[in-house]
A = this chain, B = another copy of it.
Amino acid sequence: MSKAVPLPVTRLIEALSRLPGIGPKSASRLTYYLLRAPDELSHTLAEALSELKSQTRYCSVCYNITEEDPCAICADTQRDSTQVVVVEEPLDVLAVERTGAFQGRYHVLHGALSPVEGIGPEDLKIGELVRRVQQGGILEIIIATNPGVEGDATAMYLQRQLTPLGVKVTRLARGLPTGGDLEYVDSVTLLRALQGRHEM
């Protein structure tokens, strides 16, 4: 970069540019915003960043991100431990929690099967899920992997692994998104909605 830019500024711009969705332009704008903002903001950010990894770990039961092991959901005796929603990422747990409609437990795979990216079953928390089911007490595994090629492949793989263990394996319904417009729905979604039609 030009010598009009001091090194600490360049360093932050470069670090921010490595984040997804933040290009060099947004990175500069954020950096110069931080320069003008009160010291407290960059200080808070720096502290939150250093504590993010040092003060969190994976829950040894569900592999969600947590401060305490087991996590708050796994430790909550009020929740139904017979139902487990299986998701790809920790953010998906949040999405399901926001519906307020699920009172069971979770299992975070930390990805989906992807031959293209070389991600196999051993790279995901699948063995851990199988062992959880083998320990007993789980009646239903609700697969909530993403509705796409990799999520579908992962769901199929899990179904084949888990059904022999005598557990009920279900998957989230596919169809039209609520609030969407039929005209703009892609044909795969529409096909799945047709296939999944039910009597009223």
Tally chain A residues at the interface, Cβ within 8 Å. 61
Contacts of A32 in B (CB 8 A): 65, 89-91
Q: Name the contact of A72 in the complex, choosing from B4, B35, B89 (C-beta under 8 A).
A: B4
Q: Tell me whether A12 and B90 are in contact (CB under 8 A).
A: no
The reply to whether the CB of A173 lies closer than 8 angstroms to some CB of chain B is no
The interface residues of chain B lying within 8 Å CB-to-CB of A159 are: none
In the complex, the answer to whether A45 meets B4 with C-beta atoms within 8 Å is no
| B26 and A52 within 8 A (CB) | no
Segment at the B interface, from A16-24, A117-125, A141-149, A192-200: A16-24
Q: Which B residues are CB-close (under 8 A) to A22?
A: 30
Closest to A54 in B: B8
Query: Are A9 and B56 closer than 8 Å at their CB atoms?
Result: yes
A28 at the interface (CB under 8 A from B): yes
Scan residues 10-60 of chain A and give those whose CB is less than 8 A from a CB of chain B: 11-12, 14-16, 18-22, 26, 28-36, 39, 41-53, 55-56
Given contacts A42-B49, A46-B49, A97-B2, contact A29 B91 (CB under 8 A): yes
